[in-house]
């Protein structure tokens, strides 16, 4: 191991670390926690750090410095890939959340529509029931009135028939009384004639001086 090269490597590494410190401190003030501008700035600083280390390793012909640069560069690449995957996963999660929200909204719209349709059908059924009930009541009232009118007509017919029968009976009785009166008159007339004939016969039989 070459002590000078080791000291040089340590000096380069320390200088890079010290020189990057203000940049890393400034990056911490950027928004983001594992993502966003802060993480992007930190990745850029790591990539620049790795590139400078690699260039220094080439100039100093220091394989260890170049290997350290390679590891740092690979670590930066790995973090960038992890960030990309995390962002992709976040995007998919957001899309899934949006799809779920849209599905929930669509389901709520369907439920609301179903409730409105059920309420509308219920109102229509109630209205139809009221209309049917009113029709039944009106029909029953019409039948009741028709029955009452028919009963009244029948009663009037019965009363008329009874009146006719009473009138016919009175006419028959009047005719019978008239016939009876005529018969009595004829009998009286016959009696009178018979009495007159008897008196005439008696007069004919009586002596002339008694006349």
pLDDT digits (tens, 9 = 90+) for 84-118: 888 788 889 989 999 999 999 999 999 999 999 99
**Residue 126 falls within a domain, yes or no?**
no
Nearest-angstrom CA–CA distance, 162 and 146: 24
Q: What is the pLDDT of residue 182?
A: 81
Contact predicate 19/26, CB 8 Å: no
Domain that holds residue 89: 3-109
Three-state DSSP class for residue 49: helix
Judged on CB neighbours under 10 Å (0-12, 13-18, 19+), 127 is: exposed
**Residue 64 falls within a domain, yes or no?**
yes
Q: What is the pLDDT of residue 208?
A: 54
Asked whether the CA dihedral 94, 96, 97, 101 is positive or negative, the reply is positive
Q: What count of other Cβ atoms lies within 10 Å of the Cβ of residue 38?
A: 16
Contact predicate 49/71, CB 8 Å: no
Q: Which residue has tokens 């410095």?
A: 65
**Residue 143 falls within a domain, yes or no?**
no
CA 29 centroid distance within chain:
57
Q: What is the pLDDT of residue 112?
A: 92
Q: What is the pTM for the complete model shown?
A: 0.40
What is the total count of domains within the chain?
Answer: 1
In the chain, which residues have pLDDT < 70? 1-36, 38-39, 206-211
**Residue 146 falls within a domain, yes or no?**
no
**Residue 147 falls within a domain, yes or no?**
no
Contact predicate 196/189, CB 8 Å: no
Q: Which helix (H) or strand (E) holds 124?
A: helix 63-205
**Residue 85 falls within a domain, yes or no?**
yes
Q: Which residue has tokens 């999660």?
A: 93
Q: Could you list the beta-strand ranges (E) of the chain.
A: none
Helix 36-60 and helix 3-27: axis angle, to 10°?
A: 160
Q: What is the pLDDT of residue 77?
A: 81
């Amino acid at each position: 191991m070459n002590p000078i090269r080791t000291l040089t490597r340590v000096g380069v590494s320390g200088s890079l670390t010290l020189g990057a410190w203000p940049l890393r401190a400034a990056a911490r003030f950027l928004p983001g926690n594992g993502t966003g501008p802060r993480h992007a700035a930190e990745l850029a600083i790591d990539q620049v750090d790795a590139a400078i280390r690699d260039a220094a390793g080439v100039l100093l012909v220091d394989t260890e410095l170049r290997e350290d640069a390679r590891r740092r560069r690979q670590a930066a690449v790995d973090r960038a890939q992890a960030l990309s995957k995390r962002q992709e996963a976040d995007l998919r999660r957001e899309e899934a959340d949006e799809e779920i929200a849209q599905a929930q909204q669509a389901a709520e719209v369907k439920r609301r529509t179903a409730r409105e349709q059920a309420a509308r059908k219920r109102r229509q059924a109630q209205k139809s029931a009221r209309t049917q009930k009113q029709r039944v009541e009106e029909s029953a009232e019409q039948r009741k009135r028709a029955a009452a009118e028919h009963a009244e007509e029948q009663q009037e017919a019965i009363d008329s028939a009874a009146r006719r029968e009473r009138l016919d009976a009175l006419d028959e009785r009047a005719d019978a009384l008239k016939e009876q009166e005529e018969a009595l008159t004829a009998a009286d007339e016959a009696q009178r004639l018979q009495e007159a004939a008897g008196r005439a016969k008696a007069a004919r039989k009586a002596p002339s001086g008694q006349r």
